[in-house]
Amino acid sequence: TRTPAAPDANRVVAAQQVGQRLLAYVGGRTGSAVPPIWDTLGAQQAAAQMKSGLPAGEPPLVQAPQWRIGGETASLDAGMRYADGRHGRVRARLVWREQRWLVSDVAMERDW
């Protein structure tokens, strides 16, 4: 059985940067610009649908994401709190491809 390689420091930082871009996008802080961080069209469409379903008003407060970062895959889980008191969680999976991290799957759990 092969043990997955641990990520180097540059990959950890790169994953966190992609995560920040994803959370800013789905949280409504980047306007209509879609960041080039997607591994699949399905992931991009899921994020756009999440973004369009958010409550109107101020962008949510995003909690610091919890990360699991390996050599080839990573995942994040971050809570969001909206001005109207609603809560949600964003969960995403990233893959290392073409010398960069790409979002392969994203989902949101909401309390509304």
The number of beta carbons lying within 10 Å of the beta carbon of residue 45 is 12
Q: In this structure, what is the dihedral angle of CA atoms 28, 31, 32, 36, given to the nearest 10 degrees? A: -80
pTM for this one?
0.88
Q: Any idea what DSSP says for residue 97?
A: E
pLDDT for res 22: 95
Task: Please list the rounded mean pLDDT of every run of 10 residues in the chain (112 residues).
Answer: 71 96 84 87 93 80 94 95 89 96 94 74
Largest CA distance in the chain: 50
Q: Are 76 and 19 in contact (CB under 8 A)?
A: yes
The pLDDT of residue 19 is 97
What is the spatial distance between Cα 71 and Cα 49, in angstroms, rounded to a whole number? 29
